[in-house]
A and B are shown apart, each in its own frame.
Chain A
């Protein structure tokens, strides 16, 4: 199964942009790149996903490398509510249930 690698932790200042990296060098052509975030003792919350092209939504932007071996989640203006564990996940579009979760990046936002 394709795996993802993320830094264990990152810090950001409030109101500044945050770039959360993810490496997935063994990604297959049918893997979608998903990002979720999780607060302590809560279920994960969907953030964004993409296949090949960069994606934007109201929460964040997803920049996908041309070779798809890495991606970056961009939070344009971090707020204290963005402090969470962020998971970069590969979901196989042809094999139901094949989702690989890593250990995620703990984002700390300083006021």
Chain B
């Protein structure tokens, strides 16, 4: 089955620790995204990547880092610099459009990782 997976489903972090959230897709999508969702709120974009070995900061990138070494993988590291990391983290992917219209296509979301700082 084609899809996008995230692991772990639940993650607990002690203050001062870095943690890495996994995101894998087998949809052959070029574009991948990381979002953060706080209770009762919408999604906020952390980082996105249009293609392997390239990524850009979203609206709330401070305290986070990513890598895109393989097309199917886009891991997110929550560093100790992120002061309030407790949240629901969602990864998404989409087909990269053609020409100047790059990102109008639907996004496919993973099931999410709930991160809690102890």
Residues of chain A at the chain B interface (Cβ within 8 Å):
30, 32, 34, 36, 41-46, 49, 51, 87, 91-99, 101-104
Contact = CB atoms under 8 A, between A and B. Distances in A.
A43 B109 contact: yes
Contacts of A93: 97, 100-104
Contacts of A30: 101
Interface residues of B, number: 31
Nearest to B96: A96
A97 B103 contact: yes
A46 B109 CA distance: 9
Interface of B: 31, 33, 35, 40-45, 48, 50, 56, 58, 88, 90, 92, 96-97, 100-104, 106-112, 114
Nearest to A97: B48
B42 A103 contact: yes
Given A96-B103, A101-B42, A41 B48 contact: no
A51 B104 CA distance: 9
A32 B100 CA distance: 14
Q: Looking at chain A's contact residues, is the secondary structure mostly helix, strand, loop, or mixed?
A: loop
Nearest to B41: A103
A49 B56 contact: no
A96 B90 contact: no
A42 B48 contact: no
Contacts of B90: 43-44
Nearest to A47: B106
A43 B106 contact: no
A34 B106 contact: yes
Give the top 4 A-B pairs by smallest Cβ distance, nearest first: A43-B109, A97-B48, A101-B42, A46-B106
A84 to B, nearest CB: 13
Contacts of A41: 88, 112, 114
Contacts of B96: 96
B7 to A, nearest CB: 13
Contacts of A98: 103
Nearest to B47: A97
Contact of A44 (B40, B97, B104, B109): B109
Contacts of A95: 102-103
